[in-house]
C-alpha cells in the first residue's frame, strides 16, 4: 500500500497550519517531538477517539507533510518530519510547540460507552441527551377501542 508524503518543496503553509489547528493532532505532534527520532505506532498515543477519527488525524498530518508514516506489517510507524518542516518554514514547528506548551491544551474529553447510547455526532463525539419522563400509560382497553364501540347493546 502506497502512502503519499509531499516533497519538501510541496509543503504549503496553510495546509501545515490546518494540520496544527486540531488539539488531537497537536497532541500527536507534541508526542512525536518529545520522542525525537523514535517511530511510534498509531495506537500508542493513547488518544480517546475512535479508530476512524485517529486514522483521519494521521492522514491530515501525513498529507500536510508534518509526519512521515512507514508501513511495518499491519502497523503504521510515525515520525515527525522536523528537518523538512524547519527547511521549508524555519522556526514554525518550534513556535507552535512553544505556544502549545505555554498554554497547554485542556484535558481530553473522555467518551464513556453509556454516552454512546445517547447518540454520536458525525465527528465521533458522543452527545448526551437529557432524560425525558416516561409518558403516562392509560388503560389498554381505552387506547385500543374506539369510544363508539366501547358499550355493549
Of 12-16, 60-64, 100-104, give the lowest mean pLDDT range.
100-104
Residue 129 CA, chain-centre distance (Å), reads 21
Mean pLDDT (whole number) for 53-61: 96
Q: Which residue has the higher pLDDT, 143 or 38?
A: 38
Mean pLDDT (whole number) for 111-137: 49
- Write down the pLDDT at residue 117: 45
At residue 103 the predicted structure's pLDDT band, cuts being 50, 70 and 90, is confident
Mean pLDDT (whole number) for 128-151: 52
* CA count, 13 A, side-chain hemisphere, 18: 13
Q: Give the class (CATH, top level) of 8-102.
A: mainly alpha
Of 4-18, 41-55, 93-107, 126-140, give the lowest mean pLDDT range.
126-140
Query: What is the residue-averaged pLDDT of the chain?
Result: 80
Q: Give tens-digit pLDDT for 12-56.
A: 999 999 999 999 999 999 999 999 889 999 989 999 999 999 999
Q: Is the pLDDT reported for residue 95 higher than 60?
A: yes
| All structural domains of the chain with their residue ranges | 8-102
Query: Is-contact 115 109, C-beta < 8 A?
Result: no
- Write down the pLDDT at residue 152: 56
Amino acid at each position: 500500500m502506497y502512502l503519499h508524503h509531499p516533497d519538501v518543496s510541496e509543503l504549503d503553509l496553510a495546509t501545515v497550519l490546518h494540520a496544527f489547528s486540531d488539539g488531537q493532532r497537536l497532541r500527536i505532534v507534541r508526542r512525536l517531538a518529545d520522542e525525537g527520532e523514535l517511530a511510534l505506532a498509531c495506537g500508542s498515543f493513547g488518544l480517546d477517539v475512535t479508530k476512524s477519527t485517529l486514522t483521519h488525524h494521521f492522514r491530515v498530518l501525513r498529507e500536510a507533510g508534518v509526519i512521515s508514516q512507514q508501513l511495518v506489517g499491519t502497523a503504521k510507524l510515525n515520525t515527525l518530519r522536523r528537518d523538512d518542516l524547519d527547511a521549508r518554514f524555519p522556526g514554525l514547528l518550534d513556535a507552535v510547540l512553544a505556544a502549545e506548551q505555554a498554554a497547554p491544551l485542556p484535558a481530553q474529553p473522555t467518551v464513556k460507552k453509556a454516552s454512546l447510547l445517547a447518540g454520536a455526532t458525525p465527528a465521533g463525539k458522543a452527545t448526551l441527551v437529557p432524560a425525558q419522563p416516561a409518558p403516562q400509560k392509560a388503560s389498554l382497553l381505552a387506547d385500543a377501542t374506539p369510544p363508539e364501540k366501547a358499550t355493549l347493546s
